[in-house]
Structure 1
Amino acid sequence: MKMTSERIALDKIYKRRDRYEIPDWQREEVWNKAKKQKLIDSVLRGWKLPKFYFLLTNDSPKEYDVLDGQQRLSAIWEFFDGELKLTAESAAEFGAASYEGLPDDVSDAFDDYEINFDVIEDAEEEDQKEFFQRLQEGLPLTSSEKLNSIHSKLRDYCSKLAKHKFFLETTSVSGKRYAYFDICAKVMVLEIEGLDCGTRFDDIREVFLQQAGFSGNSAVAKQVRKSLDLLHKELPNPDKHLRNRTIVQAIITFCCHLQRVGLKSQQNKILAKFIDHFLAELSKQVELGQAATDHDYVAFQRTVNANVKSGPKTRNDILLRKLFKYDPSFYSEVPQSNSLSKSLDEQISRLAESVRQLIYEVNNIYSGHHGKDLFKPTNKTIKALTSELSKPTKGMDDYKAFIENLYFIFRESIGTRLEGNLPPSFVNVNDLRTLNEHDVDHGKQNKAAKKKKELAAVFEQFSGEKSPSAVDPTKFVIIQANILSALELDMRKLAKADFDG
């Protein structure tokens, strides 16, 4: 066993947080809020933290199991994410309760604060146990090791499933300490009990005992195996993005969900491309750290780093929303549950609020250069921004009103102030309004036909259909979410633009 001492700045480890796996036995204990606040206060004061211990599990890129220090890392990541606030006393001393609100010199010092850690390499199981006997009175049994001793046919099936080629050939997860069994156990429990079921040791143990007579020929068993077959066939072997146990569980569960609602065989390759796209974008957004531009990916990664009961459902909802954005045609294939509808409504509300805040931010920047707002406030734009933007569209009339409000905000209110430099989504809004107004029927027939085709292509990128009249009324809400997502992204870019020209 080899050990080397290293140091790393907090902002750097935060941007690489997807490379640090939390072993399941580390997830059982959860610090309370006061303990987390005390840790952040110590860091802000520059006080030295106890050493962290990481086990190297992959060399390119370097990935680790967190053997000691998980709760400290979780608190640090929560503070970066805005999930953890300082006490009133600490906030008064350091200038704000949240990371985002800290004065630049304080947040810079927090970013640059370095933790000391030892990296353990080439460690055999016995070496690890001996090390932990000296560090903290013995290496705890993983939940998977404890579950593996339970007499249950569900346990037997999970053991059998863990030998599937998908784990060894497709994922980049190490199979040590029953890691594949752990993934299978969680997938099976979620499929049997539903996404609201907990996945801690006690939760899984109870289901194992209840399912002592589980049949490997049951519908659930066949469905999970079918999903593993699909993923092994369609995804790259190996897939460099499938290196985290929780993410692997999420992808299998997601695939099971789509199989259950009738995924067609001709959609398998599209699904595989989406999964690859999603995981690549997730990695990119995590690397951006505080500069991340997509709330959904940040929220997804947050559930990976923290073992909360709502995690599986949150991850599945995010995957569904991203699939609908990637290929809107899938929306018609998936039955719309109350929870999914609520999730979409919440996403629209969040996107609308984000766009509102970004307009305010961009106006402040633009007026500092030009002495006037970029988005000119009018009665129409004020009404659209204050209430209409976040109202979920439930049919054609709502959709037309939504596009009209966007036109007031992103075309009419800015006039010619961005002439020649309009963001793509602003141009799209104008095109979508033109399509709604059928304002292309005049002029030469061949030019009108060409214009109609171009407008149909714009609508299709948000909806998967060529015309609003061909859309199922229930689908307009996902179209609304897709348009708002595009506007939010362009607004974030605009907030960083140089308005001196």
Structure 2
Amino acid sequence: MEIKTVSCKREGFEIEELYKMWKDGKIIFNTEYQRSEVWLKPKKQKLIDSILRKYDINKIFFRITKDQIYECLDGQQRLRSIFNFMDGNFPTSNKYTPEIGEILFTDLPEKFKWAIRSYRIDAVAILWADDEVTSDIFLRLQEGVPLNSAERLNAMRGEARNLIAKELSQINFLKICGIKEHRFSHRHLCAQMLLLEVHKVSETQFIDCKYRNLQLMYEKYKNRQVPNRAVSDLKKALNYLEKSLGEKYSRFINKKGDIIAIYLLTSYLLKHYSMLNHEKEYKKFIIDFLKNVRNINTKNTKETQSNKYYYTYKMESRTSADSAASMKKRFEILIKKFLEFCPTIKKKDNQRIFDEYQQLVIYERADGICQNCNKKIILDDSEFDHIISHSKGGHTTIENGQLLCIKCNRRKSNK
């Protein structure tokens, strides 16, 4: 029995040698393995102080490619900070190194320049590992350092991961929305959207968009293509959002939970309703809805009662927003409010039956009262009929819908 191993070598490099290798293009930084935000100046200055004081710093990990290029897997921020300092991009710190104050590298006394150039950094170089092995090594290097779900997913390999990283996360709406691309947040959003499309979540079934289900999707589509239908529907929804909201109002969506909920609404509407030429209405609805949600004071009892739907949406967004139950609740609120806002919107097909979301809006609009005999009826005993009959060209829209009790509807249609 054999255990698969990787070949690696342990080396020590003086900073001057590493700097020259970088200048010569022999060291490259792969952003796929940069897990945190770019260091701010104080953190960089503290690292330079550690080097000047001859403190030990953690080893660097490289992968050596077949072209003999050193690809940095772990330690990118440390190397970038050192190289930037030597390029004169920031000075030392009076706070961390008060003995010399704020001085650029070129202005340092020679003995301190030499202290930096000759400082030795330990490194491990992995020889010609493929992407999957490299990702596994990267994840193990981060053990003990909390990785978020997006970073763990990004370190996986396969068709789904590549589709999301190289194509879906590059869709322009994500670049102009209010969610910053930080620690692969756009890729994580795309993974959640793709999971919803793969599972055809556009009716009444919902699925948790948590790490485990996303991981299972990545594994399922590791060596085979993601269904074209799911990819196409995802692109259509995001492109429609960009067309409707534009760059200015896309920025207004700045919470991940809102993007997923609004994405679900958009995807559903594009599948079932004629949304062509409704972009302006849709923009107004989205902006007004989010403003109403944000203006809710959850501590004001009277306000929460009069705006129960906005209150419920806001509270559901605060707790487990990527759970199936929370997404379903928020989607139902969004579709209800949109159909109230745009009652003339037409369904794509010629079916005569009002869907469950239209029925709920019609029922609440009538206060649960039969519009023929004026009797109060419960939702389960309600029937929904066209004011102008379907056979005479009446559309299946909320505007053309009415609430009737079973008896009145049977009498009307002579059933």
Per the normalisation by structure 2, the TM-score is 0.50
Provide the C-alpha distance between the structure 1 equivalents of 2:208 and 2:375, rounded to a whole number of angstroms: 39
Determine whether 1:188 maps to 2:194: yes
From 265, 272, 281, the equivalent of 1:254 is 265
Match of 1:110 in 2: none
Kindly indicate whether the alpha-carbon contact (under 8 Å) linking 2:198 and 2:227 is maintained by their aligned counterparts in 1.
no
Determine whether 1:243 maps to 2:259: no
Determine whether 1:284 maps to 2:295: yes
Listed as ranges, the matches of 1:442-457 within 5 Å are: none
Listed as ranges, the matches of 1:132-147 within 5 Å are: 140-147=146-153
Q: Mind listing any 5+ residue stretches in structure 2 that lack a counterpart?
A: 1-76, 79-142, 405-415
Provide the C-alpha distance between the structure 2 equivalents of 1:471 and 1:479, rounded to a whole number of angstroms: 12
Match of 1:394 in 2: 384
Match of 2:181 in 1: 175
Determine whether 1:270 maps to 2:277: no
Match of 2:219 in 1: 209
Change (3 A) 1:476 1:263: closer
- Tell me the alpha carbon deviations over residues 108-150 of structure 1, each in whole angstroms, 9 at most, x when there is no partner: xxxxxxxxxxxxxxxxx99xxxxxxxxxx96521111111122
Provide the C-alpha distance between the structure 1 equivalents of 2:381 and 2:254, rounded to a whole number of angstroms: 39
What secondary structure is seen at the aligned counterpart in 2 of 1:198?
A: coil
What secondary structure is seen at the aligned counterpart in 2 of 1:174?
A: coil
Provide the C-alpha distance between the structure 1 equivalents of 2:182 and 2:352, rounded to a whole number of angstroms: 38
Kindly indicate whether the alpha-carbon contact (under 8 Å) linking 2:359 and 2:384 is maintained by their aligned counterparts in 1.
no
Provide the C-alpha distance between the structure 2 equivalents of 1:286 and 1:139, rounded to a whole number of angstroms: 37
What secondary structure is seen at the aligned counterpart in 1 of 2:252?
A: coil
Match of 1:314 in 2: 329
What secondary structure is seen at the aligned counterpart in 1 of 2:278?
A: helix
Change (3 A) 1:214 1:316: farther
- Tell me the alpha carbon deviations over residues 5-49 of structure 1, each in whole angstroms, 9 at most, x when there is no partner: xxxxxxxxxxxxxxxxxxxxxxxxxxxxxxxxxxxxxxxxxxxxx
Provide the C-alpha distance between the structure 1 equivalents of 2:327 and 2:313, rounded to a whole number of angstroms: 10
- Give the aligned length: 252
From 152, 163, 171, the equivalent of 1:164 is 171
Kindly indicate whether the alpha-carbon contact (under 8 Å) linking 2:158 and 2:221 is maintained by their aligned counterparts in 1.
yes
Change (3 A) 1:266 1:345: closer
Over the matched positions of the two proteins, sequence identity in percent amounts to 17
Kindly indicate whether the alpha-carbon contact (under 8 Å) linking 2:384 and 2:401 is maintained by their aligned counterparts in 1.
no
Provide the C-alpha distance between the structure 1 equivalents of 2:336 and 2:264, rounded to a whole number of angstroms: 15
- CA deviation after TM superposition for structure 1 residue 349, in Å: 7.2
Provide the C-alpha distance between the structure 2 equivalents of 1:386 and 1:266, rounded to a whole number of angstroms: 38
Indicate the RMSD between aligned Cα atoms, in angstroms: 4.2
When Rg is computed on C-alpha atoms for both structures, the one with the higher figure is 2
Provide the C-alpha distance between the structure 2 equivalents of 1:229 and 1:474, rounded to a whole number of angstroms: 25
Change (3 A) 1:476 1:269: closer
Listed as ranges, the matches of 1:62-141 within 5 Å are: 140-141=146-147
- Tell me the alpha carbon deviations over residues 419-456 of structure 1, each in whole angstroms, 9 at most, x when there is no partner: xxxxxxxxxxxxxxxxxxxxxxxxxxxxxxxxxxxxxx
Provide the C-alpha distance between the structure 2 equivalents of 1:286 and 1:305, rounded to a whole number of angstroms: 14
Provide the C-alpha distance between the structure 2 equivalents of 1:289 and 1:334, rounded to a whole number of angstroms: 43
- Tell me the alpha carbon deviations over residues 288-338 of structure 1, each in whole angstroms, 9 at most, x when there is no partner: 853132222222223221223222232222222111111112253479899
Match of 1:326 in 2: 341
What secondary structure is seen at the aligned counterpart in 1 of 2:296?
A: helix
Per the normalisation by structure 1, the TM-score is 0.42
Kindly indicate whether the alpha-carbon contact (under 8 Å) linking 1:393 and 1:476 is maintained by their aligned counterparts in 2.
no
Kindly indicate whether the alpha-carbon contact (under 8 Å) linking 2:361 and 2:398 is maintained by their aligned counterparts in 1.
no
Listed as ranges, the matches of 1:2-81 within 5 Å are: none
Match of 1:88 in 2: none
Q: Mind listing any 5+ residue stretches in structure 1 that lack a counterpart?
A: 1-124, 127-136, 357-379, 400-464, 482-501
What secondary structure is seen at the aligned counterpart in 2 of 1:395?
A: strand
What secondary structure is seen at the aligned counterpart in 2 of 1:248?
A: helix
Which one-letter code corresponds to 2:164 in the other structure? C
- CA deviation after TM superposition for structure 1 residue 263, in Å: 3.6
Kindly indicate whether the alpha-carbon contact (under 8 Å) linking 2:159 and 2:223 is maintained by their aligned counterparts in 1.
yes
- CA deviation after TM superposition for structure 1 residue 281, in Å: 2.3
Which one-letter code corresponds to 2:146 in the other structure? P
Determine whether 1:154 maps to 2:167: no
- CA deviation after TM superposition for structure 1 residue 278, in Å: 2.0
Kindly indicate whether the alpha-carbon contact (under 8 Å) linking 1:349 and 1:390 is maintained by their aligned counterparts in 2.
no
Kindly indicate whether the alpha-carbon contact (under 8 Å) linking 2:195 and 2:217 is maintained by their aligned counterparts in 1.
yes
Higher relative contact order (CA 8 A, sep 6+): 1
Q: Which has the higher helix share?
A: 1
